[in-house]
Amino acid sequence: MGDSENRVLEVKDLSVRFDTHQGTVRAVDGVSFYIEEGETLGLVGESGSGKSVTNLALLGLIPNPPGVIDSGQVLFDGKDLLKLSIHEMRKIRGNRISMIFQDPMTSLNPLLTIEQQLAEVLEIHRGMSRREARPLCAKGLGEVGIPSPEKCLDSYPHELSGGMRQRVMIAMALLCDPKILLADEPTTALDVTIQAQILELMAKLQKDHGTAIMLVTHDMGVVAGQADRVNVMYAGRLAETASTKDLFDRPMHPYSKGLLESVPRLFGDASGELFSVPGQPPDLASLPAGCAFAPRCSYAVDACTNTRPELTVQIDANATSERLVACTEAARVLAADLAAEPADGGAS
Ligand code: ADP
Ligand code: MG
């Protein structure tokens, strides 16, 4: 694990800002990470932490204006995607790297049938005619568990349920057998039962096709069930990178610890937030000089308000893979956890 040959995508020092009337919003600020072949990489963090902007940037979908990519490289297949022309990027998007969003209604065209939308993908990327594409589209819909693919092909998006529309989106995203699927809160808009079905489906398709998935979610339960590794994002930066097991066993960033300790609320509020860490997320248009989490952090020392911590390799004797944490107090967080571990191995 961790060998660079296994990496299908490598993001280096990505920064994205939005120039707005309220000021410059540093939505993504010097983020580096990689995705390994066939893995599920979780991306978690509160609403507004820059998860969607990170995903959009990878596919050249940042609206400009107001968005500007300030720095970075997105290395895929020997190329820097940030340097590609619009035309070259179109050949990758929906083909080698696909994306699904929270709300399929925003990405499906209400005026076109499902067949027209699925077939278009194969027309663009495979040069197929509509007639050639139809059986492949039907096959794709069958694979995502749509009961009557032929009937679905002739439907319009509004004739389908939310769960079925998300299945259509997944089918569309996988038509060209992409290396990477970027899934941005793919189940957030769905009720719990359907959410479980869609997650199970994604896991199965991933196994069958070897697709690497970046799964964006604010639901730690979803991460625990799906992800191999996790990036924790806070205020446009990565706070921690760890294997899912290490993160859940021994979070090393106080923010990750907060995410895991916050009790899930049974009835999410309007934003659908399932957990909350005490305090308010910072204003990305006026970030403090030091650590952006310091004002909410019970581990903070004086130095935290002056210097912004870099993501650095941490020593954890029990780690199952490399641990990176952007906190000078990470060792203290870990020590506190180990000390708190009860000898009876359990209940507290
Ligand atoms: P999330 O982690 O919830 O996906 P986002 O990546 O959507 O967060 O947003 C990160 C920050 O970027 C937020 O402060 C958001 O307001 C800002 N942002 C995103 N898109 C735009 C835009 N088109 N114009 C201005 N600000 C934006
Ligand atoms: Mg988002």
Contacts of residue 76, Cβ cutoff 8 Å, sequence gap at least 6? 8, 9, 10, 92, 96, 97, 179, 180
- For residue 279, report the distance from its CA to the centre of ligand 1, in Å: 19
Nearest residue (CA) to ligand 1, atom 21: 18
41-54: per-residue pLDDT in tens?
999 999 999 999 99
pLDDT tens column, 146-180: 999 999 999 999 999 999 999 999 999 999 999 99
- C-alpha of residue 49 to centroid of ligand 1, in Å: 8
C-alpha–C-alpha distance, residues 148 and 2, integer Å: 42
Nearest CA to ligand 1 atom 8: 48
Coil, strand or helix at 77: coil
Q: Where residue 91 falls among pLDDT bands split at 50, 70, 90?
A: very high
Tokens representing 249 are 């066993």
Q: State the distance from the centre of ligand 1 to the C-alpha of 93, rounded, in angstroms.
A: 21
The chain-wide mean pLDDT, for the chain, equals 92
**Which residue from 43, 49, 53, 234 has its CB within 8 A of the most atoms of ligand 1, so it is best to mutate?**
53
Taking the CA of 17 as reference, the closest ligand is 1
- Tell me how far apart the alpha carbons of residues 145 and 48 are, in angstroms, rounded to a whole number: 33
Q: Once rounded to an integer, what is the mean pLDDT over residues 233-256?
A: 97
pLDDT at 5 over 90: no
Nearest atom, ligand 1, residue 216 CA: 4
DSSP-derived secondary structure for 19-65: EETTEEEEEEEEEEEEEETT-EEEEE--TTSSHHHHHHHHTT---TT
What confidence score (pLDDT) does residue 343 get?
A: 60
- The two structure tokens encoding residue 287: 């970030």
Which two three-digit tokens encode residue 222? 């979803």
Name residue, tokens 């769905």: 190
The four Cα atoms 339, 345, 347, 348 give a dihedral, to 10 degrees, of 0
Mapped to the 3 state alphabet, what secondary structure does 110-159 carry?
CCCCHHHHHHHHHHHHHCCCHHHHHHHHHHHHHHCCCCCHHHHHCCCHHH
Contact assessment for residue 126 and residue 140, using Cβ atoms and an 8 Å cutoff: no
Amino acid at 139: K
| pLDDT at residue 3, as a whole number | 64
How many residues are given for the chain? Answer: 348
In the structure, which protein residues have their CB atom closer than 6 angstroms to any atom of ligand 1? 18, 20, 25, 27, 45, 47-53, 63, 66-67, 284
pLDDT at 26: 97
Q: Is the pLDDT assigned to residue 101 strictly greater than 90? A: no
Choosing from 14, 16, 18 the residue with most ligand 1 atoms within 8 A of its CB, the one to mutate for a pocket test is 18
Other beta carbons within 10 angstroms of residue 127's beta carbon come to 8
Over pLDDT 90: what percentage of the chain?
Answer: 84
What is residue 149's predicted lDDT score, i.e. its pLDDT?
98
pLDDT of amino acid 267: 46
Residue 120: pLDDT above 90?
A: yes
Question: Ligand 2 centroid to 336 CA: how many Å?
Answer: 32
The pLDDT, as a whole number, for residue 264 is 58
Cα–Cα distance measured from residue 130 to residue 149, given in angstroms and rounded to the nearest whole number:
16
Write out the residues surrounding ion ligand 2, Cβ under 5 A: 51-52
Judge whether residue 206 has pLDDT over 90: yes
pLDDT for residue 238: 98
**pLDDT more than 70, % of the chain:** 93
Tokens at residue 304, please? 């935290």
Ligand that comes closest to the CA of residue 53:
1
238 strand-pairing partners: 233
Residue 47 Cα: closest atom of ligand 1: 3
Residue 338: pLDDT over 80: yes
Residue 219 structure tokens: 């639901």
What strand order describes the sheet that includes 23-36? 23-36, 7-20, 67-76, 79-80
Contact call for residues 58 and 73 (beta carbons, < 8 A) = no
pLDDT exceeds 90 at position 184: yes
The whole-angstrom separation of Cα 25 and Cα 287 is: 9
Please, which pLDDT band fits residue 348 given cuts at 50, 70 and 90? Answer: very low
Q: Coil, strand, or helix at residue 312? A: strand
Q: Which atom of ligand 1 is nearest to the CA of 284?
A: 14
Distance 68 CA to ligand 1 centre (A): 12
For the segment 106-121, the average pLDDT, to the nearest whole number, is 94
Residue 312 gets the label, from left (phi > 0), alpha (psi -120 to 50) or beta, of: beta
pLDDT tens digits, one per residue of 10-32: 999 999 999 999 899 999 999 99
Angle (CA) 64 71 310, round 5°: 130
